Structure 1
Amino acid sequence: MITITKKLIALDLDGTTLNNDSQISAKTAETIQAAADQGYIVSIVTGRPNRLSENFYDDLKLTTPMINFNGNLGILPHQAWNREYQYTIDKEIVTELLAKSKPLGLSLVAVEGRNMFLANQGLSSGFGFFPSTLTTNQILSNKSLKENPISITVQVKPELKQGLIDFVEQQFGDEVEVSPWGGPNPIVEIATKGVHKSTGLKFLADYYGILQKDIIAFGDEGNDLTMMQYAGTGVAMKNAIAKIKGLADEVTDFTNDEDGVARYLQDRLDIAVGA
């Protein structure tokens, strides 16, 4: 009797599975679906909230759990699941940030949970992540914030970004950690201390009974580092930042805009499309 070893493919979204238009190409979708059909367990592990990633989950026709908010939420999209988990932070931290938003230089304060999105204002340049206008039930205030959020995202004046990071770490450093976004935007995310993408990846591996050596993780940015280090094979995209490339086990021959994930899967794992 031949025993087939289960393998897990963990996919970051932005800069990895998504192209530069924030879409999944037909080639990438077809290849990932073929990998699932051929017995690989494929899961999305993203920094995005579930509200901005379930559409890609559906595009890929996945049925596996999805990890959101850089490991802080694990769900089966569109349904209740008794294994679902989430790490939340004290809403009093939000109250403090709102009270000190002017001296800290904060223009946007947004909080999210699995079924919650609140912000103090819309964002005219929301880079696709935040709405430009808010409905009445999306306006953040001490009264409207009724539960602890999974994530706090703030936009800060560039010259005050380090000051904000220092403030949060001094006041709440034993509870949360601060992660500046990659790229040019002066955005900082605050979430539970010690929780990273590797947290979600370990959850998936334990759930499916998969050894670390049988995990392949794709990524391109700093928030992918722990996931790629946890995986048996950490694969950096050709377009990844230098630090990720330097620590990865392998680097794709093509960028995210050139179907780098799909080409890797077809070439290195013999994923047969159309089989």
Structure 2
Amino acid sequence: MITKTKAIFLDMDGTILNHQNKVSTYTKEIIDEVRKRGIKVFIATGRAYEEIEELTPPGFQVDGVVASNGMVGYVGSDVIFKHSLSRELVETVIKMARENQVYYELFPYGSPRITLKQDQSYAEDEIRDPKPESVGINEWDSRKESIAQKISWADEVVGDEFSKFYFFARTKEQINRWKEELDQLKKEIDFTTSISTEHNVELMVANVNKATGIQQMLKHFGLTESETMAIGDSDNDLPMFRLVNYAVAMKNAPDSIKEVADDVTDFTCDEDGVYSYLKTKFIG
């Protein structure tokens, strides 16, 4: 039951983030209020940890962050757990992405995301205007920002710790073909994939997802799944929905997500749905 809740895990995109990729001050304030009442509040996101600060209001605080779909966990600036893609997998996937002309961003820990210079021209072409109708404005704006400011166009991949790959295609047909290519590669190298929209797919270490990250975070705080709630809106939230005691889907979530949830918010992410839900259930 919801009354047993001692920990809440919140997705970002489509949940606490609106379609302008911002967390409202109302959401910050309700998180503060819930935490004052002794309930731990966490972020569980597909985004890299380094992205969060710029998307949230000044003074935004949570008890911990599960980032990159369960690849890394932070409490404050301390790393609680971390997984890394192998260099062999990274090099293999980049070569395949180039052969298939698939837009990719590789996320090293602690440094800007990477796309190789030799892949820049087709990557930029994927983000050409006009925006495809089926691509969400928040994802499109994020890709535009990545191309203009976020990506480090590198001559070669350096380092040996990487949190994830993000792949995007302007057509569903192309991204679905790429998913099939990745499924074939899984027969040779084990890894996990996750999707949050019909135009993307992300790649992580095998058997890692939001649920595994949440389990590690709960263990750190001495909490259990039976005391935990999660709020989300997309396919990459399903593992955590299956794990927690009480799963809440956003009003803007697809029906397939709402069907597996225990409850649905009355308002969308653009209407401060998480603020209203937490206020009603925990503050009154």
Q: TM-score, normalised by structure 2?
A: 0.81
Within the candidate set 187, 204, 213, 1:191 is matched to 204
User: 1:71 and 2:70 equivalent?
Assistant: yes
Q: CA deviation at 1:246?
A: 0.3
C-alpha deviation, 1:157, in angstroms? 6.4
CA deviation after TM superposition for structure 1 residue 179, in Å = 2.7
Aligned partners of 2:17, 2:269: CA distance in 1, in Å?
6
The aligned counterpart of 1:263 is 276
Stretch of structure 1 that moved more, 7-16 or 148-157? 148-157
Q: Distance in 2 between matches of 1:6 and 1:163?
A: 41
Paired AA for residue 119 in structure 1: T
2:185 corresponds to which of 167, 171, 174: 171
Residues 206, 103 of structure 1: CA spacing in aligned structure 2 closer, same or farther, 3 A cutoff? same
1:128 corresponds to which residue? 142
Change (3 A) 1:60 1:32: farther
- Indicate yes or no: 2:223 matched with 1:223: no
1:109 aligned residue (82, 104, 107): 104
The alignment's C-alpha RMSD in Å is 2.6
In 1, the alpha carbon distance for the partners of 2:30 and 2:247 equals 19
Relative distance call for 1:249 and 1:6 in structure 2 (3 A) is closer
| Distance verdict in 2 for CA 1:160–1:23, change over 3 Å | closer
User: Which blocks of at least 5 consecutive residues in structure 2 are unaligned?
Assistant: 129-139
Do the aligned partners of 1:6 and 1:39 also contact (CA within 8 Å) in 2?
Answer: no
5+ residue gaps, structure 1, are none
Q: Is the 8 A contact 1:104 1:163 kept in 2?
A: no
Whether the aligned pair in 2 keeps the contact of 1:91 and 1:145 (CA below 8 Å) is: no
Looking at structure 1, the residues matched to 6 and 15 of structure 2 have their Cα atoms a distance apart, in angstroms, of: 19
Looking at structure 1, the residues matched to 71 and 59 of structure 2 have their Cα atoms a distance apart, in angstroms, of 22
Equivalence for 1:153: 166
**Distance (Å, rounded) in 2 between the aligned partners of 1:57 and 1:76:** 17
Letter in 2 for 1:10: F
Q: Which moved more, 1:205-214 or 1:155-164?
A: 155-164
Question: More displaced, 38-47 or 163-172?
Answer: 163-172
The CA distance in 2 between the partners of 1:74 and 1:160, in whole Å, is 32
Between Structure 1 and Structure 2, the one with more helix by share is 2
Amino acid at match of 1:218: I
Residue 131 of structure 2 corresponds to none
**Residues 55/160 of structure 1: CA separation in 2 closer, same or farther (3 Å cut):** closer
* Alignment-mate amino acid for residue 160 of structure 1: Q
In the TM superposition, what is the alpha-carbon distance from 1:140 to its structure 2 partner?
A: 3.5
Q: 1:171 to 1:38 in 2, by over 3 A?
A: same
1:230, distance to aligned residue in structure 2 (A) = 1.0
- Out of 126-135 and 7-16, give the one that drifted further: 126-135
CA contact (8 A) 1:156 1:188 kept: no
